[in-house]
Amino acid sequence: MTNSIEQRKSEHIQISLNEQVTGESISTGLATYRFMHNALPEIAFDEISMTTEFLNHNCRTPFLISSMTGGTEFAEKINRNLAIAAEAQGWIFALGSTRALLDNDSHRASFLMRKYAPSVPIIANLGAVQLNYGYGFDECQKIIEKTEADMLVLHLNSIQEVIQPNGDTNFSGLLQKIEQLCRKLTVPIGVKEVGWGIDGLIARKLKDVGIAFIDVAGAGGTSWSQVEKFRSTDPIKRAAAEAFTDWGIPTTEAIQLVRKDVGTLPIIASGGIDSGVDGAKTIALGADFVGIGRAILKAATESPEKVIEAMQIKEMELRMAMFGIGVKTIQELKETTRLKRIASLF
């Protein structure tokens, strides 16, 4: 099993870098929104602050490195570059699925990033479905201890697991097991999708059982049914995956649906967010943090400096958007009335 997990992680990286894995007929919805420019912002650009707070952690920016990888030699290089950059820029760093951390000794170091990012929040990650396949409190506690993570996120990936060779598809009874884990684990637990979005009803159920934050991971970015299509040798599943290129809740819709039902629970917006302007839009729509993944993956294969440069561009874009509408703080961005929907595609 360990070799198959390592091979899968390596293939995921290569496919995400080199293949067309975004939905062809669905978008995030971000292009349907525009900020109304403020020609007289009445603020100084240097006064703009991106500082914010996430679950009692003071953060220099509202950006988060979305969960991507781990469990291979190449992943160790990627995560090291991401961790060094996260520390330099003050981004939250979410690890890829840590199942391999316990299943495979050979590349355990790919998840042990605290020495490179001593001060920023680190989020460990595990597939929620693993709670039906032998994982529970003890395993999750070991993951937290080994990674020295500040919190855990459980990812939901039902469609991916169906297409994935030897996928784990028993999602029955998970809500109760998530509730039990929330009661026992020593750190906050969040839930994220992997690219098909979360709706308000599901978000409310998750909040009610003790989930501390939700990453909507909406449709419009990487489609993991498409990623797994490239890995699969099953002609039936490969063909079926094509029917899901437009599946999911667009990121913009997911943010608004979840915000309506969870009150002030922290929301991370991810799923096809490529720029700081997109990030500003998601915050104005109701998100607290902005998850960036595939948009910095190529830089992460090269060096920490390349990642830092990519991060600084996203930060500059966000600050310029804030300047362009005349807001000085992230709280003011959340409260702006200058984001307008110009068309409806869904």
Model pLDDT, residue 100: 87
Looking up residue 27, the CATH number of its domain turns out to be 3.20.20.70
Q: Is residue 173 part of a domain?
A: yes
When divided into structural domains, the chain yields a total of 1
Per-state percent for the chain, helix, strand, coil, to nearest 5 = 50, 15, 35
Residue 4 has pLDDT above 70, yes or no: no
CA distance 216 to 198: 5
Give the least confident one: 14-18, 115-119, 121-125, 294-298: 14-18
The predicted-structure confidence for 10-69, as pLDDT tens digits, reads as follows: 666 676 666 666 766 678 999 999 999 999 999 999 999 999 999 999 999 999 999 888
Q: Is residue 346 part of a domain?
A: no
Q: Is residue 93 part of a domain?
A: yes
Please give the structure tokens belonging to residue 245.
């290129």
The predicted-structure confidence for 187-233, as pLDDT tens digits, reads as follows: 999 999 999 999 999 999 999 999 999 999 999 988 778 888 788 88
The predicted-structure confidence for 138-191, as pLDDT tens digits, reads as follows: 999 999 999 999 999 999 999 999 999 889 999 999 999 999 999 999 999 999
The conformation of residue 244, written as its DSSP 8-state character, comes to G
The answer to whether the beta carbons of residues 285 and 28 sit under 8 Å apart is: no
Q: Which residues contact 74 (CB under 8 A, 6 or more apart)?
A: 10, 13, 301
Nearest to 183, CA basis, from 203, 210, 204: 210
Residue 270 has pLDDT above 50, yes or no: yes
**What whole-number percentage of the chain has pLDDT above 90?**
77
Average pLDDT, the chain: 92
- Determine the residue type at 197: G
Q: Give the residue-averaged pLDDT of 88-110.
A: 89
Residue 344 has pLDDT above 50, yes or no: no
Model pLDDT, residue 2: 46
The answer to whether the pTM exceeds 0.75 is yes
Phi and psi for 96 in degrees, rounded to 5? Answer: -70, 175
Which helix (H) or strand (E) segment is 105 a member of? Answer: none
More confident residue, 342 or 121: 121
The answer to whether the beta carbons of residues 188 and 142 sit under 8 Å apart is: no
Model pLDDT, residue 345: 39
Q: Which domain holds residue 209?
A: 2-341
Residue 3 has pLDDT above 60, yes or no: no
